[in-house]
A and B are shown apart, each in its own frame.
Chain A
Amino acid sequence: MLRLILRRLVDLIPTLLVVATTVFIITRMIPGDPAAVLLGPQASPDEIAKMRESLGLNQPMYLQYIDFLGSLLQGDLGTSLGYHQPVLSLILERFPNTLLLSVCALAIALLIGIPAGIISATKQYSAWDYTVMILSLVGVSMPIFWLGVMLVLYFSVHLGWLPATGMGSLSEGFGSVITHLVLPSIALSTIPMATFARITRSSMLEVIRQDYIKTARAKGLREFFVVWKHALKNAMTPLLTVMGMQISSMLGGAVLTETIFSWPGMGRLVVDAIENRDFVVVQGTVLFIAVIFVLINLLVDILYTVVNPRVNLSNKGEG
């Protein structure tokens, strides 16, 4: 097992190289002189020249690329132009906040989406099933930045129940963080929740017709265990595939959610950096998120083997 994980990690190297290269190319695609763009229109030629020097822009492209990769290997994502701080430390400051938000949203999505899908599948064509299916159709089509705004409008502006922005702080008590967490988590959880409900339903419907479910019933198992033990574990494989993709889009969704709710996470950092034309921060954060995503996918791959004994890690990546 451990050796296979290591092998998968080695397999990730080309992917990560492409990720880094993409980010490098994108930043070099900036039209005009990057130094001038970075410093803005007010910069003097002198400042621009200095900036070019410090960015290493006077070197040939391949040397720049090697430098770029070299500093990445040392964990150096550059220095923010606006904050005058290493980008990595800026990111690491905010990463836990994004993690908190995403984990909460994922938990909500899983805890509601999967049971809703299971009940839908066991009561196919019932009123419950239709309700869940319609809601989840709307859910997967939801522009979450709009949902976020609407949640603020209703629960903060109209009802005044929950704070609209910020994340509170532990010094104001645990409750403060929780109340700040509610609306952004709900907004961020909507699409994955709806997706989980749909996938769970369809894969449960397929599993529940299988012979081994008949076997489980013939054994005298309670329907509850037939569904939640025998069927669910088999339905997990497609669910896991989707979960990997959903986590990826959640990292993107966090950018939008954090903007609406002024949640001090990585997404907020990116958007602020875009507004301040702080490209080094944008580049670093995008890279960081991509690496996180690749690692999460590795985790999902490993979970496959736990859920489905027929999947052999070494054979993965074929399809």
Chain B
Amino acid sequence: MSNQAQNISPVSVPLAAKKKSKENSVWRRLLKNKLALVGMIIIAIMVIFSVFAPLIATHPPNAMDLANSLSEPGVDGHILGTDNYGRDLFSRIIYGTQISLIVGIFAIGLGGMIGTLLGLVAGYYGGKWDAIIMRLMDGLFAFPFILLSIALMTVLGAGLFNVILAIGVANIPGFARIVRGQVLAVKEEEYIEVTRSLGANHSRIIFHHILPNCMAPIIVYATMNVAGAIISEAALSFLGLGVQPPTASWGSILKDGKDFLVLSPHMATFSGLAILLSVLGFNLFGDGLRDALDPKMKV
């Protein structure tokens, strides 16, 4: 395996052509994987729901109607019934998709960017930098993920931005570790040596040569961690630490649903199903992506 990899020198193969055909085959493998396809469909539905929420939702998400509170699914045009304030559950779940996606994408974007940078520096420069950064990451890693988010939320206070910040920060060490490991592997490749001997400076080597070679695991890890971020947001909101009412979030709907579990179990059931399905969607897609890019990838 490794012999083969070494034989393919970057000079002998037209790079662009190789890259293109590689991308094509990744796509083909991804589309052949039925589970990944299911994941993609779920994600697509989520995107549609959040972009077109005002069009899809049958009611304004925060409009209260206390006379019709806790009504059953299907009654009075409420597809999934209403909550304890008489708000339309279907519309709230549709709008909740926005929160889940926003938190998922931005928190992972934030954590991924900082973590990747730290991992690149630690892996590339090694030595003192590596020791300091990775010790720091080990320390952060020692906190159970959700607990670190909880601790951050308690001091930051509730709110969408703070949720993104808390989950994002909790994601940093994971990315740093993955990227560092990848950099250490890529750094030893011959063509990096060649580039260096040709006089490329550090930032050029890091961003033009090493980073592109770390992208596959970063993308897979990010996809899977979007799932984790969605669960974390829901968990924080479930604990009352997430987005503030009356903003519709699946976690906060579930929190209310838990209090009215006996009277109207539909609140808890549907909000939770929404969380489960979207998390499943990102996990399936991430799995498929990993298998399509490199089944041996350790993510």
User: Which A residues are closer than 8 A to B by beta carbons?
Assistant: 14-19, 21-23, 26-27, 29-31, 137-138, 140-143, 145-147, 149-150, 152-153, 157, 248-253, 255-256, 259-260, 270-271, 274-275, 279, 282-283, 286, 289-291, 293-294, 297, 319
**A143 with B240: CB separation less than 8 A:** no
**For the complex, would chain A's binding face be called helix, strand, loop or mixed by DSSP majority?**
helix
A-B pairs with beta carbons under 8 Å apart, 16 shown = A137-B283, A140-B283, A143-B234, A143-B272, A146-B234, A150-B272, A248-B145, A253-B144, A256-B239, A274-B239, A282-B151, A286-B143, A289-B147, A290-B144, A293-B143, A293-B144
Chain A residues, CB < 8 A from B157: 31
B258 interface residue, CB < 8 Å from A?
Answer: yes
CB distance from B218 to the nearest CB of A (A): 18
Task: Known A143-B234, A149-B258; judge A274-B150 contact (CB<8 A).
Answer: yes
Bound CA–CA A26/B140 (angstroms)? 12
Per a CB cutoff under 8 Å, which of B143, B269, B283 touches A141?
B283
Chain A residues, CB < 8 A from B143: 19, 22, 286, 289-290, 293
**A18 with B140: CB separation less than 8 A:** yes
**B276 with A138: CB separation less than 8 A:** yes
B254 interface residue, CB < 8 Å from A?
Answer: yes
Per a CB cutoff under 8 Å, which of A271, A275, A286 touches B151?
A286
Question: Number of B interface residues, CB 8 Å?
Answer: 46
Per a CB cutoff under 8 Å, which of A14, A146, A253, A255 touches B254?
A146
**A137 with B284: CB separation less than 8 A:** yes
**B261 with A271: CB separation less than 8 A:** no
**A252 with B254: CB separation less than 8 A:** no
**B139 with A15: CB separation less than 8 A:** yes
* A-B pairs under 8 A by CB, number: 142
Bound CA–CA A250/B145 (angstroms)? 10
What residue of chain B has the Cβ atom nearest to residue A164's Cβ?
A: B261
Interface residues as binary, B255-299 with A (CB distance below 8 Å gives 1, 0 otherwise):
001100110010011011001100110011001000000000000
Interface residues as binary, B148-166 with A (CB distance below 8 Å gives 1, 0 otherwise):
1011101111000000000
Residue among B35, B142, B265, B272 with the most chain A CB within 10 A?
Answer: B142
Bound CA–CA A319/B178 (angstroms)? 10
Chain A residues, CB < 8 A from B258: 149, 260
**A153 with B139: CB separation less than 8 A:** no
**B238 with A22: CB separation less than 8 A:** no
Chain A residues, CB < 8 A from B53: none
Bound CA–CA A274/B147 (angstroms)? 12
What residue of chain A has the Cβ atom nearest to residue B138's Cβ?
A: A15
CB distance from A251 to the nearest CB of B (A): 5
**B265 with A18: CB separation less than 8 A:** no
**B147 with A149: CB separation less than 8 A:** no
Chain B residues, CB < 8 A from A19: 139, 142-143
**A271 with B231: CB separation less than 8 A:** no
Taking CB atoms and an 8 Å cut-off, the chain B residues in 36-91 that contact chain A are none
B215 interface residue, CB < 8 Å from A?
Answer: no
**A141 with B146: CB separation less than 8 A:** no
**B276 with A18: CB separation less than 8 A:** no
Chain B residues, CB < 8 A from A253: 144, 146
In the A-B complex, the 9 residue pairs with the closest CB atoms: A18-B139, A146-B272, A252-B144, A252-B146, A141-B280, A141-B279, A143-B275, A251-B144, A290-B142
CB distance from B247 to the nearest CB of A (A): 19
Chain B residues, CB < 8 A from A140: 283
Taking CB atoms and an 8 Å cut-off, the chain B residues in 154-202 that contact chain A are 154-157, 181
Interface residues as binary, B223-255 with A (CB distance below 8 Å gives 1, 0 otherwise):
000010001001100111100000000000010
CB distance from A91 to the nearest CB of B (A): 14
B219 interface residue, CB < 8 Å from A?
Answer: no
Task: Known A26-B155, A157-B262; judge A259-B139 contact (CB<8 A).
Answer: no
What residue of chain A has the Cβ atom nearest to residue B296's Cβ?
A: A206
CB distance from B146 to the nearest CB of A (A): 4
Chain B residues, CB < 8 A from A137: 35, 280, 283-284, 287
**B231 with A143: CB separation less than 8 A:** yes
**A149 with B142: CB separation less than 8 A:** no
Chain B residues, CB < 8 A from A31: 155, 157
B135 interface residue, CB < 8 Å from A?
Answer: yes
Task: Known A22-B143, A138-B276; judge A145-B238 contact (CB<8 A).
Answer: yes
**A251 with B147: CB separation less than 8 A:** yes
Per a CB cutoff under 8 Å, which of A22, A248, A271 touches B239?
A271
**B150 with A149: CB separation less than 8 A:** no
**B140 with A256: CB separation less than 8 A:** no
Chain B residues, CB < 8 A from A153: 261, 265, 268-269
Task: Known A17-B139, A27-B155, A149-B254; judge A255-B276 contact (CB<8 A).
Answer: no
